[in-house]
């Protein structure tokens, strides 16, 4: 799982996720989303339920891959 480092956490602060991702991805959105286990879906608040479900799947898959390596 990817935790935010201190600088990323400060930059996230109270910004909406959609705005924060757009500011931080530096033209490499796909890599940024993968690194932070963020699904490539609408990140606006109106799509929150779908975002949570898709992120849950990504996190479960990531955990399974980590646990299967041991």
Percent of the chain at pLDDT > 70 equals 81
Give the residue-averaged pLDDT of 30-52: 95
- Give residue for tokens 């924060």: 20
Q: Are 39 and 54 in contact (CB under 8 A)?
A: yes
Does 2 have pLDDT greater than 60?
A: no
Rounded to an integer, what distance in angstroms lies between the CA atom of residue 49 and that of residue 52? 5
Rounded to an integer, what distance in angstroms lies between the CA atom of residue 1 and that of residue 38? 11
pLDDT for the residue 3: 57
The pTM for the full model equals 0.77
pLDDT for the residue 69: 76
């Amino acid at each position: 799982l990817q935790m935010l480092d201190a600088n990323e956490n400060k930059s996230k602060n109270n910004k909406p996720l959609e705005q924060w991702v757009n500011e931080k991805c530096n033209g490499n959105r796909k890599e940024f989303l993968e690194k932070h286990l963020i699904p490539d879906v609408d990140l606006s608040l109106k799509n929150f339920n779908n975002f949570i479900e898709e992120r849950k799947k990504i996190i479960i898959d990531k955990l399974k891959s980590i646990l299967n390596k041991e």
